[in-house]
Amino acid sequence: MEFFTLHDFMTYTKGITYLVMGAILIFMPLYWLYLTDRDD
């Protein structure tokens, strides 16, 4: 991916970062449920 302006770079990297963060926000509660579902 080529960037010509800082705006291009920020738009691209922020876009990917928000997608990753969204995935983490969904994953982490599910992972917590996986860790604790056999607790007494």
Partner 1 sequence: MAAQDKPMAKNSIFTPFNVITGIILSAGLVLTVLRFTQGIGAVTNLDNTNPWGLWIGFDLLCGVALAAGGYVTSSACYVFGLKRFHSAVRPAILTAFLGYALVVFALHFDVGRPWKLPYPIFVSQGTSSLLFEVGLCVFLYLTVLFVETTPAAFEWLGFKRLRSWVVRLTLVLTIFGVVLSTLHQSSLGALFMIAPSKLHPLWYSGYLHVYFFISSMFAGMSMVIFEGSMAHRWLHHKMDATHLAESDGVALGFGKAASFVMMGYVGIKIIGLAVDNNWHYLTTGWGAWFLVELIGFVLFPAILYSVGAREKNLTLIRIASLWTVLGIVLNRLNISVIAFNWHLPSAERYVPSFMEVGTTLFIVTLGIVVYKFIVTRMPILHEHPDYKEVH
Interface residue list for partner 1 (CB under 8 A) = 1, 9, 12-13, 16-17, 20-21, 24, 27-28, 31-32, 34-38
* Residue number, 7 or 12, with CB nearest to partner 1: 12
How far apart are the C-alpha atoms of 3 and 15, rounded to whole Å? Answer: 14
* HEC assignment per residue over 19-31: HHHHHHHHHHHHH
Minimum CB distance to partner 1, residue 25 (Å):
9
> Which C-beta is closer to partner 1: that of 4 or that of 34?
34
